[in-house]
Structure 1
Amino acid sequence: MKSPAAPLRAGSLADHLRRRYSPVLVILSPPRCGSTVVARSCWRHPLFRWYVHEPCDRLYHRGDDAGSVRAALSEALDAPDRPAGGTGHGVVIKEMTFQARPLLAELAGAATLPVVVTVRDPRLAIRSRMRQLEKAGEDPCFPPVESGWADLGHALALMRRAGVPYVVTDVTRLSERPADHLPALCARLGIPYTPAMLSWPRVPEMSLGRLDGEQRHWYARVLSSTGFQPPDEQVPPLDAFPAGMRAHVAGCLAAYEEIMAGPHTLEVA
């Protein structure tokens, strides 16, 4: 089911979203950093009914104008299996940093809760993106901008300047101990924790994004899952990457380590 039809009015995306949904949770992330599974978990919270998956995908990949973003925000997905007591009318919006570059300020400004930033070791994230591209028969050595780390740095600086609160969570740590990390995340968001966030129904038939199924295989695992899966990947060494990508991966790793050492990172004893 799609959200109730209502054309976007003139004005910013932030104004529109705040008029239409309450609360508004924005999740920003570099690719392959667990943002979809975190969104899936947050969508189980009784405060949230609607979900918008990467509204800026056509803006980046197809060169569409901002109208495509407005269309995506007008077609939010309704929760397939709301937990008992779910009466909220909030929305979870999940977006990749590099896709949202022109609209980062508006997306961050739309949030009525602290923005959730999901990260993981870039060596794992970049290798995962390379594998997904290979599955589609594409060149695994993607443009550096699509690692998302440069735009993540821009987004964090933007939010600090604008006074937009945010919290950084490492999805590897979260997946290792979700029952400990999710209550801490909810506390940072200022919302009550519910155990319903630990599990969800399988929805393998669900289509995410607006790229005509081109990235269906990217989300097959999370849509077929029923909860957080303990991480089982070994971090690859830098020399496992193609020579032309190693300097970039090293730069992303330095950015990740700096972010993880910062005051906004969620820490759980």
Structure 2
Amino acid sequence: MWSGPRNISTAMMRAFENRADTTVVDEPLYGHYLAATGIEHPGRDAIVAAMNCDWRAVVRDLTEAPIARGTVHYQKHMTHHLLPVIDRGWLDRVVNCFLIRDPAEVVASYLEKRDSVSLADIGIREQAEIFERAADRLGQAPPVIEGRDIQADPRALLTALCAAIGIAFDPAMLSWPAGRRATDGVWAPHWYAAVEASTGFAPPSPAKPPPPGHEALIDEARPYYERLRAHRLTGAA
């Protein structure tokens, strides 16, 4: 599942982890991303120390290693973690799905946590690149879901997503126990307070406008978003 930041990506991970047949992994390329770029993120040193920062080893685990339980391996990825140095051939060995959010909402939410934001921070360009690669290989658009759509009707959208990736919908995906998980990344204390308190998907909140001065960034991001949004699942019968 390829998402940018400030979406419902961790809630989606919760939903899949609540299935008895699924193993989840939380942003496995984050350590490599931080080590390779030197970017300062909350908890950076702890993340780099805790994770395997060799992207080749991480990819081997993602595509070859046995999973802890079940038959489904749900991989929560941030699109901007897939740096250009990483060979993307392994993407042809997994089912690529895309979780999107309006870039104006992403920017507004991001700036609630950080002092500044750039196109590279939100990963929308990389998300479009990964989408195009998957679409070219498949000869059709891979599954795309919008966070707001899932929040508005979780059962319908998760049913549509499961059908698109060839697994049965499980009602257990609709709710989960509150709290932290052993599978959560070590960055959870900085980012996961809301999802730790949750027991299911919250209804969509009214969109907050980003602070003035970010119009050019949003305009730059929007065509990438609209390209994917044109193919989003609707949950309609």
What range is the shorter-chain TM-score in? 0.7 to 0.9
Shift of 1:235: 4.0
Give CA deviations for 1:212-237 in whole Å, capped at 9, x if unaligned.
Answer: 54x5221221122110000113241x
Structure 1: distance between partners of 2:12 and 2:134: 20
Choose from 75, 79, 93 the match for 1:110: 93
Letter in 1 for 2:13: A
Alignment partner of 1:267 is 2:234: yes
Paired residues, number: 217
Counterpart in 1 of 2:78? 96
For the 8 Å contact 2:28–2:77, the answer to whether it is kept is yes
Letter in 1 for 2:55: A
Alignment partner of 1:192 is 2:168: yes
Where relative contact order (Cα < 8 A, 6+ residues apart) is larger, the structure is 2
Shift of 1:183: 1.3
TM-score by length of 1: 0.71
Choose from 204, 218, 236 the match for 2:180: 204
Shift of 1:76: 9.7
Structure 1: distance between partners of 2:144 and 2:207: 22
Q: Equivalent pairs: percent with the same residue? A: 27
Give CA deviations for 1:10-50 in whole Å, capped at 9, x if unaligned.
Answer: xxxxxxxxxxxxxxxxx1111112222112112222321x2
RMSD across aligned positions (CA): 2.7
Counterpart in 2 of 1:34? 8
Check 1:242–1:75 CA distance in 2 against 1; reply closer, same or farther (3 A cut).
farther
Structure 2: distance between partners of 1:32 and 1:234: 13
Alignment partner of 1:168 is 2:144: yes
Give CA deviations for 1:137-184 in whole Å, capped at 9, x if unaligned.
Answer: xxx213321111110111111112232862000010111111221111
Q: Residue 62 of structure 1: SS of its match in structure 2?
A: helix
Counterpart in 1 of 2:126? 151
For the 8 Å contact 1:33–1:119, the answer to whether it is kept is yes
Check 1:156–1:115 CA distance in 2 against 1; reply closer, same or farther (3 A cut).
same
Give CA deviations for 1:119-145 in whole Å, capped at 9, x if unaligned.
Answer: 111111121122122xxxxxx213321
For the 8 Å contact 1:206–1:223, the answer to whether it is kept is no
Structure 1: distance between partners of 2:87 and 2:177: 31
Q: Residue 200 of structure 2: SS of its match in structure 1?
A: coil
Letter in 1 for 2:4: P
Check 1:252–1:44 CA distance in 2 against 1; reply closer, same or farther (3 A cut).
same
Counterpart in 2 of 1:124? 105
Q: Residue 203 of structure 1: SS of its match in structure 2?
A: coil
Counterpart in 2 of 1:4? none
Q: Residue 31 of structure 1: SS of its match in structure 2?
A: coil
Alignment partner of 1:241 is 2:211: yes
TM-score by length of 2: 0.80
Check 1:169–1:47 CA distance in 2 against 1; reply closer, same or farther (3 A cut).
same
Structure 2: distance between partners of 1:226 and 1:77: 25
